[in-house]
Amino acid sequence: MKSKRLLLLAIAVVAAGAALAAGLGSSSSNAAPRATARVAVVTDIGGLNDKGFNHLAYVGLQRAQSKLGVDGRVFITNTAEDRLPNLRSAAQQGYGLVIGVGFLMFDPLDKLAPAVPNTKFAGVDVPYALLASKPANVRGLVFKEQEAGYLVGYIAGLEIKRHPYKGKQVVSGVGANKVPAIIHFLTGYAAGAKKANPKVTVLINYANDPTFADQAKCKVTTQNQISRGSGVVFEAAGQCGLGGLTAAKQSGVWGIGVDADQSFLGPHILTSATKKVDVAVYQTIQAYAQNPDGFTGGSDQVFSVKNGAVGYGKLSPKLSKADRAYILARVSNIAKQIASGKIVPPSGT
């Protein structure tokens, strides 16, 4: 929580600075047109309103437009074949910073970036090591999902210790498919739960849903876990996981959301493992807007608990005051230890 506040403070300071730089006293947004940074976001398949990556990346861009006054545009990717042409037209149209969203952007970025050395690129979830051509103008934006998983696992472990489900201390996690980000989330989750409560049993299952949209599969997988005694289910499964969270609600056990803060789904959501793509996009645009020439690629920028880009969401309003205080005091301490490097959650890959 504290890191979040610091972040807001930092944003406020920068925004104020940007307003000053844009021209004292001028309220007009086009006061300094020549200095305006031009930024494009190229989405991945799934549309702008996917409640996941694309949506959060767009939110980050919108925030940058309103707070930093950058000139932004979104290129929407509809099929796998659109990724490269979208990146290319963004570069050709003079956008100085082009942000590709999604792991699968690594290949088109790898192909395009060396050909347009004057354009800066960033890839959300794209590890720089995957780019074979080693372009100096691409920056990878990667997340430590295991830290978010660790924190919500810790919360789950504490909750089940205080309130065992049907006399058992079992918590579980569901992944849609075995991809790196999900393995990170779930490995961190298991480790966090064990840290909070050495007696806990952690069940991890994958729903085998490569589409990330098949709610029925996550629901059945989750129901199996609940029948095996799980009292807290963490759904690291995109839209598939919504089916699992419904199962949790129907069985009267806790659910834990992922990526966005999914507390809006109802009081059965204990908390959420948040991965703030919007923060990453905003911070990247901010760094570029402040000093376009100084924006370097050639490596990964890591988003973690330390810089406020992963963490845990709101705690359920259903928790008693005592439980909430008990959990918050302990988990914020753990978050601090993760931020300082004292605890290093395992990633599983």
Partner 1 sequence: MSTAVERAPASALAGSEPVGIAGIGLGVLAFWLALPPVHSRTVALPAVVGAAAIACGAWAVAGGRRRLGWAAVAAGVIGIAGAVLATHASVSHLQAVITWSTILAATLVFATPLTYAAIGGMFSERSGVVNIGLEGMMLMGAFFGAYGADKTGSWVAGVLIGMASGAALALVHAFFAIHLRADQIVGGTAVNFLALGITGYLYVDIYGNNGTPDNLPAIPDVHLGWLGSIPPHSLGSFLDEVLGSQNLMVWLSFVLLVVAYIVMFRTPLGLHIRSVGEHPRAADTVGISVYGVRYASVVTSGALAALGGAYLSIGFVNSFTENMTAGRGFIALAALIFGKWRPFGAFAAALLFGFSSAFAPQLQNVDAWSTYGTLFEALPYVLTLIAVAGVIGRSIPPAAIGRPYQKQ
Number of residues forming the site for partner 1 (CB under 8 A): 34
> What torsion do the CA atoms of 178, 179, 183, 186 make, to the nearest 10 degrees?
-70
146: contact with partner 1 by CB under 8 A: no
| Total Cβ atoms within 10 A of residue 163 | 14
230: contact with partner 1 by CB under 8 A: no
User: How far apart are CB 273 and partner 1 at their closest, in Å?
Assistant: 19
Q: Whole-angstrom Cα distance, residue 196 to residue 154? A: 5
209: contact with partner 1 by CB under 8 A: yes
Nearest to partner 1 of 41, 203 (CB atom): 203
Q: Which of 11, 31, 179, 204 binds partner 1 (CB under 8 A)?
A: 204
Beta carbons within 8 Å of 200's beta carbon, 6+ residues apart: 157, 160, 161, 169, 170, 171, 193, 194
- Binding to partner 1 (CB under 8 A) within 4-63 occurs at 46-47, 49-51, 55
215: contact with partner 1 by CB under 8 A: yes
Q: Whole-angstrom Cα distance, residue 50 to residue 203? A: 28
Site stretch for partner 1 (CB under 8 A), options 96-104, 120-128, 263-271, 317-325: 263-271
Nearest to partner 1 of 70, 193 (CB atom): 193
Q: How wide is the angle at C-alpha 270 spanned by C-alphas 265 and 273, nearest 5°? A: 85
Site stretch for partner 1 (CB under 8 A), options 82-90, 102-110, 224-232, 287-295: 224-232
Site stretch for partner 1 (CB under 8 A), options 92-100, 235-243, 274-282, 335-343: 235-243
Q: Are 211 and 232 in contact (CB under 8 A)?
A: no
206: contact with partner 1 by CB under 8 A: yes
In which element (H, E) is residue 89 found? helix 83-92
Nearest to partner 1 of 264, 344 (CB atom): 264
Nearest to partner 1 of 154, 206 (CB atom): 206
User: How far apart are CB 207 and partner 1 at their closest, in Å?
Assistant: 6
DSSP bridge pairs for 286: none
DSSP per position, 46-71? T-TTSSSHHHHHHHHHHHHHHHH--E
Residue 232: which of 294, 158, 298 has the closest Cα? 158
272: contact with partner 1 by CB under 8 A: no
Q: Match 């970025």 to its residue by tokens.
A: 109
Q: Which of 36, 43, 169, 246 binds partner 1 (CB under 8 A)?
A: 246
User: How far apart are CB 28 and partner 1 at their closest, in Å?
Assistant: 32
User: How far apart are CB 125 and partner 1 at their closest, in Å?
Assistant: 20
Q: Are 177 and 217 in contact (CB under 8 A)?
A: no
Residue 197: which of 151, 159, 168, 149 has the closest Cα? 159
Q: Whole-angstrom Cα distance, residue 349 to residue 343? A: 17
Q: Where are the strands (E) in 14-130, listed by range?
A: 38-42, 71-75, 97-101, 120-124
Nearest to partner 1 of 136, 265 (CB atom): 265
211: contact with partner 1 by CB under 8 A: yes
Nearest to partner 1 of 58, 154 (CB atom): 58
User: How far apart are CB 50 and partner 1 at their closest, in Å?
Assistant: 8
Q: Whole-angstrom Cα distance, residue 65 to residue 157? A: 41
Site stretch for partner 1 (CB under 8 A), options 34-42, 66-74, 238-246, 272-280: 238-246
Sites of contact with partner 1 (CB under 8 A): 46-47, 49-51, 55, 203-209, 211, 213-217, 219-221, 223-224, 227-228, 239, 242-243, 246, 249, 264-266
